[in-house]
């Protein structure tokens, strides 16, 4: 079983320089350990996921367009699909709950966003 993921969970990108906190902005109706519970659609850049300081992905347009002169740039996360997998047994606002084992793919070279602290270590959900 995976842990439920809530507001203030800590996220890390495989191409990001530093972790960031998750902010739950989509409409949810569940509370998990005194924080709003997230679902797999909690993936809006800059409002749910603020960014990971700098990006080192070679597919980031700033880096790829520099001809190799830039090795990192500010993180501008972009996501084409929701977190996967979500919980198959618990739903938040009729959408699968976000779990500690879920990952999200950034559009820049398939950077993988993972949850390094779910924010709810005592609430488990089926995945």
Q: What is the pLDDT of residues 7-57, one digit of tens each?
A: 889 999 999 999 999 999 876 666 555 788 899 999 998 889 989 999 988
pLDDT of residue 123: 61
Q: Mind giving me the DSSP string for 28-76?
A: ---EETTEEBPBTT---BTTTB---SEE--TTSHHHHTTTTS-S-EE--
pLDDT of residue 86: 93
pLDDT of residue 64: 81
């Amino acid at each position: 079983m995976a842990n439920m993921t809530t507001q203030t969970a800590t996220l890390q990108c495989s191409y990001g320089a530093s972790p960031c906190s998750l902010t739950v902005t989509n409409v949810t109706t569940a509370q998990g350990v005194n924080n709003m519970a997230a679902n797999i659609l909690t993936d809006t850049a800059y409002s749910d996921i603020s960014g990971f300081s700098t990006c080192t992905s070679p597919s980031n347009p700033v880096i790829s367009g520099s001809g190799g002169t830039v090795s990192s740039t500010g993180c501008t996360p972009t996501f084409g699909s929701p977190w996967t997998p979500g919980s198959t047994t618990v739903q938040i606002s009729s959408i699968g709950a976000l779990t500690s084992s879920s990952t999200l793919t950034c559009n820049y070279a398939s950077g993988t966003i993972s949850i390094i602290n779910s924010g709810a270590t005592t609430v488990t959900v089926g995945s």
